[in-house]
Amino acid sequence: MRMSVIGCGYLGAVHASAMAELGHDVIGIDVDPDKIAHLAQGRPPFFEPGLSEVLTSAMNSGRLRFSTDIADAAGAQVHFVAVGTPQKQGSHAADLRYVDAAIKSLLPHLAAGDLVVGKSTVPVGTAARLAEMIAASGTGASLAWNPEFLREGFAVQDTVSPDRLVYGVPGGDAGEHATAVLNEVYASAIAADTPLVVTDYATAELVKVAANAFLATKISFINAMAEIAEVSGADVTQLADAIGFDNRIGRRFLNAGVGFGGGCLPKDIRAFTARAEELGRGESVAFLKEVDAINLRRRQRVVDLAVSALGRPVHTAKVAVLGLSFKPHSDDVRDSPALDVAVQLRGLGADVVATDPQAIENSRARHPQLSYSTDLEETLRGADAVVLVTEWPEFRELDPVWAATLVRTPTIIDGRNTLNAAAWRAAGWTYLGLGRP
Ligand code: NAD
């Protein structure tokens, strides 16, 4: 099928490449000329495992092109909208200006039978409003909402083989047309018996934010237990194991630590509460404000632990920060707890040196005041405390005996509860986890 993907960020660039790899003929469009220049040369503008290979292979096949000109979307039967929906400045609501602008710019290039497919995460009610905008254009095109569930770090695999597909479609013939078109788009996933939910716009929009709200709640739940463990002497990691053995609960997403971040979970739960308030049902999801507050308190906890563990005034101390991206296998530092901790420690006067396998460039662009090093040895040398905040394999596998020879004071704050505490203590370290004695 011929398709356009409008917005080539973390979601769109992967989606465009994966769709071309699956055999479709794809044009990726973005208003950012730098991003398009990178992509057009087969170079991903961000780090995502496997993307480089899929991008190169799709471009070599001749089925993938990139452009900054929305007019190049003309002729495609399917137009995916994958632009950003960030948090509005000064508000918790989602900023829909990019989605609106993308659809408006697309209207003159639509033809009868075309399907516009929203992939961005939007507040419930957005698709119905955009569908009216498209209907009013008189082009004969229609709209579906097909939320995206990919995880950064596994984005290619999640796009090619999703856990489930959700189509939000209009009623009647238009809905049947949209479903048929999307079934063709996702033919390989459908053939692999991927669970499929075909529903209305509102449900499709809500599925996405509900899923993120649930995941965020699960993480904040265990982090709340960590807070209680900290004042009662219990061990939250054993608690998580024990409750996780209950199949109804499950062990995944029960890792207490510095909390969640990234370009989705934090802004999505805030936008959800803002939208619920607009709909007069703020109380239904008021608990998400607590989920957010617990999450942010964990960052503060890591900073406080580090400061209190330093054997000297913070402004005379060197702190080594291991990790900057919001999760491993990504260079994304949007709302990253790791970067936040580094910035807060720097703000308190510490000499912070931070390292990350992929996220230094993005971090430097946002926080040039921090010192960065690509070299782990240099980062650790002379440190009065080491703070692990992103569980990259190279940090998890750090040898405590070797690391002890580099630092001034062997104190480690394990902000992800990912290290073997006994091994670190045996190597002479003061080991401090979250919610662990
Ligand atoms: P992003 O900021 O990385 O990418 C958005 C892109 O849209 C940017 O490259 C921007 O230049 C482009 N853009 C903005 N306005 C445009 C326009 N009018 N025309 C063409 N391009 C335009 O954001 P992202 O992380 O890719 O997220 C995009 C959407 O997908 C958001 O709604 C997000 O919540 C959702 N989402 C993201 C993920 C993820 O893991 N990143 C997963 C699921 C859903």
Same domain, 10 and 87: yes
Residue of 36, 83, 156, 208 best suited for mutating to test ligand 1, as the one with most atoms within 8 Å of CB:
83
**Do 43 and 187 fall within a single domain?**
yes
351 near 321, Cβ under 8 Å?
no
Amino acid sitting at position 252: R
Centre of ligand 1 from the C-alpha of residue 48, in Å? 15
Q: Which pTM does this prediction carry?
A: 0.97
In 3D, which of 57, 49, 2 has the Cα closest to residue 24?
2
pLDDT in tens, 323-379: 999 999 999 999 999 999 999 999 999 999 999 999 999 999 999 999 999 999 999
Tokens of 291: 């989920």
Catalytic residue among 117, 264, 276, 345: 264
Tell me which of 166, 199, 232 is where a domain ends. 199
Domain end call among 181, 199, 217: 199
Task: Check whether 42 is labelled as a binding-site residue.
Answer: no
On whether both 10 and 144 belong to a single domain, the answer is yes
Is there a single domain that holds both residue 286 and residue 317?
no
Q: How far is the CA of 83 from the centre of ligand 1 (A)?
A: 4
Q: Which residues contact 288 (CB under 8 A, 6 or more apart)?
A: 213, 216, 217, 269, 270, 272, 273
Tokens of 414: 């394990």
26 and 162 housed in the same domain: yes
Same domain as 24, residue 45: yes
Which protein residue has the closest C-alpha to ligand 1 atom 19?
A: 102
Claim to verify: residue 331 and residue 415 sit in the same structural domain: yes
Q: Is 8 a catalytic residue?
A: no
Residue 344 has, within 13 A of its CA and on its CB side, a CA count of 20
Q: What total number of domains does the chain contain?
A: 3
DSSP state, 164?
A: -
Residue 12 alpha carbon, nearest atom of ligand 1 = 26
The rounded distance, in Å, linking the Cα atoms of 272 and 94 is 9
Same domain membership, residue 16 and residue 155: yes
- Please give the residue range of the domain that contains residue 370: 297-432
CA of 229 to the centre of ligand 1 (A): 38
Q: Is there a domain that residue 104 lies in?
A: yes
* Positions in the chain short of pLDDT 70: none
| 112 inside domain | yes
Q: Is 261 annotated as a binding residue?
A: yes
Residue 311 confidence (pLDDT)? 86
Q: Which atom of ligand 1 is nearest to the CA of 32?
A: 11
Asked if residue 204 belongs to a domain, the reply is: no
Taking the C-alpha atoms of residue 2 and residue 80, their distance in angstroms, rounded to an integer, is 11
Query: Is 155 a member of any domain?
Result: yes
Ligand 1 midpoint to CA 58 (Å):
21
CATH (domain of 280): 1.10.1040.10
Convert the pLDDT of each residue in 390-424 to its tens digit: 999 999 999 999 999 999 999 999 999 999 999 99
Alpha-helical runs (H) found in 27-110: 33-40, 51-60, 97-106
318 marked among binding-site residues: no
ipTM: 0.99
Q: Which residues form ligand 1's pocket by a CB distance below 6 Å?
A: 6-12, 29-32, 35, 82-85, 98, 101-102, 105, 120-121, 148, 150, 152, 263-264
Q: How many residues does the chain have?
A: 437
- State the CB neighbour count (10 A cutoff) for residue 351: 17
Query: In this structure, what CATH number is given to the domain that contains residue 56?
Result: 3.40.50.720
Residues 38 and 128 in one domain: yes
Q: What are the CA-CA distances from residue 231 to residues 116, 189, 241, 292, 434 (Å)?
A: 53, 48, 20, 21, 11
User: Is residue 175 located within the same domain as residue 281?
Assistant: no
Last residue of a domain, one of 199, 231, 265: 199
Sorted by sequence, the CB contacts under 8 Å of residue 323 that are 6+ apart come out as 338, 354, 355, 356, 359, 388, 389, 390, 391, 392, 395, 415
320: three-class secondary structure by DSSP:
strand
pLDDT at residue 237, as a whole number: 97
Do 234 and 142 have their domain in common?
no
Q: How far is the CA of 88 from the centre of ligand 1 (A)?
A: 14
Assess whether 110 and 230 both reside in one domain: no
Whether 278 is in a domain gets the answer: yes
Q: Determine the atom of ligand 1 nearest the C-alpha atom of 85.
A: 32
Question: Has residue 437 been placed in a domain?
Answer: no
Report CA-CA distances (Å) from 211 to 191, 203, 245, 322.
25, 12, 22, 29
* 190 located within any domain: yes
Domain assignment present for residue 401? The answer is yes
